[in-house]
Structure 1
Amino acid sequence: MAPLRISFLIRSVYDLLPSNANLVHWGKKADPTCLLCHGRQTTEHVLSSCKVALSQGRYTWRHNRVLQELASVISTAKGQSNLPSPSLTIFTTESGAKKRAAGRLR
């Protein structure tokens, strides 16, 4: 794994990313407000709980990109090269229903 990815993971687990709330705490910024929803912008808020980002599909897009990357790595490891098109991937939900996911934010 790339060093920057490891750094991001460690800093996110320990809440050391430069969210607005942390920047205020560190004396680098005066306002901890999220620019999208005007709530308090913490690391958790940025990564998974901003209602505006959720309603705009930003988390779904990010989630789908992670799944596409995993599918690519697994297929490469298995020696397969017939991956689905990056613009359209079909995922199976927990209930077993098929869902189509676009590879880009609309």
Structure 2
Amino acid sequence: MAPLRISFLIRSVYDLLPSNANLVRWGKKDDPTCPLCQGRQTTEHVLSSCKVALSQGRYTWRHNRVLQELASVISTAKGEIHPSSTSSTVFTTEGGVKMARRVDPNKHP
């Protein structure tokens, strides 16, 4: 695993990422609010709890990017040709419904 990814994982587990709440705690900022929803911006809030980010599809986009990266790594390990960056990807929702989407990894909703 890349060192920056390991660092992110460790810092997120120990709540050491530069969220606004942490920046206030460290004396680097005066306001702990989330710029999207005006709630308190903690690490948990940024990664999974902001209602505005959820309604805008930001978590879905990030989730799908992770799945695409995993699919690419698995394809490489199996010796398959990489799909194009805007290929159609089939995801299964929590309820088991399959959804095909054309995904552009460089575009954020």
TM-score (norm 2): 0.88
Q: Counterpart of 2:37? A: 37
Shift of 1:2: 1.1
1:63-74 to structure 2, matched below 5 A, reads 63-74=63-74
Give the 3-state SS of the residue equivalent to 1:90 in structure 2: strand
1:67-82 to structure 2, matched below 5 A, reads 67-81=67-81
1:105 counterpart = 2:104: no
TM-score (norm 1): 0.91
Q: Is the 8 A contact 1:68 1:86 kept in 2?
A: no
Q: Is the 8 A contact 2:76 2:82 kept in 1?
A: no
The CA RMSD measured in Å over matched residues stands at: 1.4
1:86 counterpart = 2:89: no
Gaps of 5+ in 1: none
Gaps of 5+ in 2: none
The count of corresponding residues between Structure 1 and Structure 2 is 105
Give distance in 2, aligned partners of 1:28 and 1:58. Answer: 26
Identical residues among aligned pairs (%): 79
1:44-63 to structure 2, matched below 5 A, reads 44-63=44-63
Give the 3-state SS of the residue equivalent to 1:24 in structure 2: helix
